[in-house]
Structure 1
């Protein structure tokens, strides 16, 4: 069976890309793939656990260590754990970063002889892999944050682009992202395919839902301004008789400011902290409305998870978001789209647009509250079919097709 080396430059399971990697490993094991993982972790993490993968198949690159004396570099500027920003990388940090990953990559490739490497993010590590191993088939999944880093850390952009241009196949999350990848990286259209994102239907489903009489709204994601949280809290402050639960973590000043803002609204707002997939599924099953006021996303799999648990949804009208659900779900009022404010760069809203944004959020949430009070449950066969199409089993079937296609070209 195929020998696959998965590569992620940050902690598995803590962000969308980490959950994606874990899902690939889990589904690959079902098909008997031989799999190994290289990932970036802090020195304080004594053990890296990836479901279905033995310890000797996991090879960490350790940060906060002599070779890499700074926290894990995050693909977002605000991560759910202590992290470094690529925008702050100087020549020394870049050299240390590439040297550490190169050493681990060479060691693992020499030991396991992968037939294919699957890297995550069209960024520095993927570019490094291509330079080190030009003859090993390389596929990469873009999670959207790489496109964002091209702007936030533009002094590193050419280094990332030059290596990523030679990736054999790139997997995009949606059609809009595919076009951006083609434009930004100068790739031929046939080398970029839409693979999508998935969710665990064994966890996220409508069975054993316990949506009580007290109306509950839930958010899941990082505690950051780019996720729109300060303005969600402002909007919710003006809505009576609801509870807002914030599921997610964050480090640094931004996250602390959001926590303080949320604590001032207690008990209306509850901070749940970072949750496991199992814990998040339980919270979604108890919640009536899911809200994601983000200014930038790749393709938020948490939206699928919430819909699968019977939540109604309020979400910003992000590029590509409407490809994730059928138009009938919008027409039926299951999903409410909130217009984005104008942005400066990838994810900073213009100040003059924020009062309208807060009001639009409040109106959309109130509309879904009315819908819940009239009828929480809903029936939308096209939405149910779309959810079936986006289980991890279906997504991994597409990934396997890409693996086979690339290997046949060797």
Structure 2
């Protein structure tokens, strides 16, 4: 089969980028002919298997003179919010992607086009290629974007309804896709997520009871990912300063917000280390050195990073994102993630301020229980693989 994968943003960064890259790698191993289109900067490096042709769309150039459009308002690299696109910027976006996709379609003549995110570019591709089989993969952030941002909203919804198929990460997300886009139920299939067991694994050394602990967060170091709440929650923990260390792995959003997070970290009782963006191998090593992984996010798709952390031997604490708990219970036998009830939310991903203290106390209690838990059943991850996900998507 000939497959063209398309994303408007970087193909290797963020959860959706990892998803795209892993699908492409597994389809290459299965012998499919492929091309990829992604939005990058001229200095960026891409890493796809031999034989996969990459068509870059370069941002911050004369043809596209602004930063990469980010599906989240805070990306881990320089980005432009979709809500800030002017009509001129939108025209430039449309023109350069149309020209690049036209080149790729002419050269590859794909049997199927796979768009990542149920959003603007997927809608455009549907418009441009009415005779092609086109599916799109939902990553969660696209649902938040369409709910919060009026940019081309009705145009996007109409074209998404016309797709040949939509891939959801879990059943709750499938319901949201039906509600928001009015996509027919039979067009939406649930595929889940996989993980790379060649990178994320335990060394085989049994973790012994220690005198000190390490907590790790991985993701965008931002308020929407719950990092501010995490840092405040640490004040409720009962341990002396030397017994606990916290590491934050990932890029960050706006400088002003990042400075506020850094200030919270300096005021924290426990040492907080900012690791910045890590490669997957570097992140896996940090997981292996840590005791508990925490993801206190206010909005997520399915949080692949939970699986990666578990695979490396971390206990996991995660905010109770709708649909996530059910998926893990059904697909990961032996998982013992502690899901923490979210505060009441407004405007999709904004917590009600007066409910944050109680949420942060719940986070602290969940962390304390995990840190003091001596043994935990090993989760069975053998059924969670990118190979199976890639086969599922093509089916």
Q: Does TM, scored on the shorter chain, surpass 0.5?
A: yes
Q: 2:6, 2:115 within 8 Å by CA — same for their partners in 1?
A: yes
Which residue of structure 1 lines up, in the alignment, with residue 362 of structure 2? 360
* 1:64 and 2:82 are equivalent in the alignment: no
SS of the residue corresponding to residue 225 of structure 1 reads coil
Which residue of structure 1 lines up, in the alignment, with residue 35 of structure 2? 36
SS of the residue corresponding to residue 317 of structure 2 reads strand
2:221 counterpart (219, 223, 228): 223
SS of the residue corresponding to residue 305 of structure 1 reads helix
The gaps in structure 2 that reach 5 residues or longer are none
Change in CA separation of 1:333 and 1:70 when aligned onto 2, cut-off 3 Å:
closer
Which residue of structure 2 lines up, in the alignment, with residue 408 of structure 1? none
SS of the residue corresponding to residue 109 of structure 1 reads helix
Which residue of structure 1 lines up, in the alignment, with residue 165 of structure 2? 169
Query: So what's the TM-score if we normalise by structure 1?
Result: 0.90
1:398 offset after TM fit, Å? Answer: 0.8
SS of the residue corresponding to residue 119 of structure 1 reads strand
The gaps in structure 1 that reach 5 residues or longer are 402-410
Q: Distance in 2 between matches of 1:369 and 1:327?
A: 25
Which residue of structure 1 lines up, in the alignment, with residue 19 of structure 2? 20
Q: Distance in 2 between matches of 1:282 and 1:36?
A: 32
Structure with bigger helix share is: 1
2:297 counterpart (279, 282, 294): 294
Which residue of structure 2 lines up, in the alignment, with residue 48 of structure 1? 45
* 1:236 and 2:237 are equivalent in the alignment: no
1:328 offset after TM fit, Å? Answer: 11
Which residue of structure 2 lines up, in the alignment, with residue 10 of structure 1? 9
Which residue of structure 1 lines up, in the alignment, with residue 343 of structure 2? 341
Which residue of structure 2 lines up, in the alignment, with residue 309 of structure 1? 312
Change in CA separation of 1:327 and 1:49 when aligned onto 2, cut-off 3 Å:
closer
1:150-191 Cα deviation digits (max 9, x unpaired): 122123221211211111010000000001111111111110
1:89 counterpart (82, 85, 89): 85
1:361-383 Cα deviation digits (max 9, x unpaired): 11111111111xx33xx335xx4
1:242 offset after TM fit, Å? Answer: 1.1
SS of the residue corresponding to residue 35 of structure 1 reads strand
Which residue of structure 2 lines up, in the alignment, with residue 404 of structure 1? none
Q: Distance in 2 between matches of 1:53 and 1:77?
A: 33
1:106 counterpart (92, 102, 108): 102
1:379 counterpart (377, 382, 389): 377
SS of the residue corresponding to residue 258 of structure 1 reads helix
Q: Distance in 2 between matches of 1:40 and 1:53?
A: 20
Count of residue correspondences: 388
Query: So what's the TM-score if we normalise by structure 2?
Result: 0.93
Change in CA separation of 1:209 and 1:22 when aligned onto 2, cut-off 3 Å:
farther
More moved, 169-178 vs 310-319: 310-319
Q: 2:9, 2:38 within 8 Å by CA — same for their partners in 1?
A: yes
Which residue of structure 2 lines up, in the alignment, with residue 206 of structure 1? 202
Q: 2:160, 2:183 within 8 Å by CA — same for their partners in 1?
A: no
- What is the correspondence of 1:134-283 to structure 2 with a 5 Å cutoff? 134-208=130-204, 211=207, 213=210, 214-239=212-237, 240=239, 241-252=243-254, 253-265=256-268, 268-283=271-286
Q: CA RMSD in A?
A: 2.0
More moved, 70-79 vs 209-218: 209-218
